[in-house]
Structure 1
């Protein structure tokens, strides 16, 4: 579900909670690209984005196709970080909504 639609019915307090959590936990494209540049051969950018399985595969098999894999990877870093941040925001929205539902049920 689109995160904008999910945030439509939230209060200002709930939106502030979501923004606060996102500021703490979101991934940075700049850091991902820096990790790719300096630690790309060791899959640093993959570990940073949470793609642990692919990072391990890159460590194991990446040496054979190191330059090709790293070159192709640079074109997908930004989109992957956007996807991870959207998933993170979705999880935070769901958590805030669940907390709100539990709070309203407890006061009823």
Structure 2
């Protein structure tokens, strides 16, 4: 199994830190634009954002809206983990210097 050099690992961690989503921004979007599911669009979940908007018509969406207040930290963590995984996979595909 190929391993990444320390320099590449540091580069990946720097990129993850720069490209990760902010929980504070996600909460602000949830608070101010939650009825438009802006926080879910911001966190890269357009499918569930649209589903949430459509579910407002049957009142389930309002419960989902409240539950999202507790789910935002895990959604931010999942986004960070996906970024890291994608970057590691691309770095492993590159030839060593």
TM-score, normalised on structure 1? 0.76
Of 67, 74, 79, 2:74 maps to: 79
Q: RMSD of the alignment, in Å?
A: 1.7
Q: Shift of the alpha carbon at 1:103?
A: 4.3
Give 1:90's match in structure 2, choosing from 85, 88, 91.
85
Structure 1 unmatched runs, 5+ = 1-8
The match for 1:30 among 24, 31, 35 is 24
> Is the CA contact (8 Å cut-off) linking 1:33 and 1:74 kept in structure 2?
yes
- The CA distance in 1 between the partners of 2:46 and 2:28, in whole Å, is 18
SS at match of 1:85: helix
- Deviation, 1:10, is 2.8
Q: 1:49 corresponds to which residue?
A: 43
Listed one character per residue, the Cα deviations across residues 20-61 of structure 1 (whole Å, up to 9, x for unaligned) are: 211221111111111111111100111011111111112222
Counterpart Cα distance in 1 of 2:43 and 2:56: 17
CA, structure 1 residues 42+51, in 2 after alignment: closer, same or farther (shift >3 Å)? same
Structure 2 unmatched runs, 5+:
none
Matched, 1:60 2:54: yes
Secondary structure, aligned partner of 1:27: coil
Larger deviation: 41-50 or 54-63? 54-63
Distance 2:57 2:83 in 1: 31
Distance in 1 (CA, whole Å) between partners of 2:21 and 2:15 is 12
TM-score normalised by the chain length of structure 2: 0.84
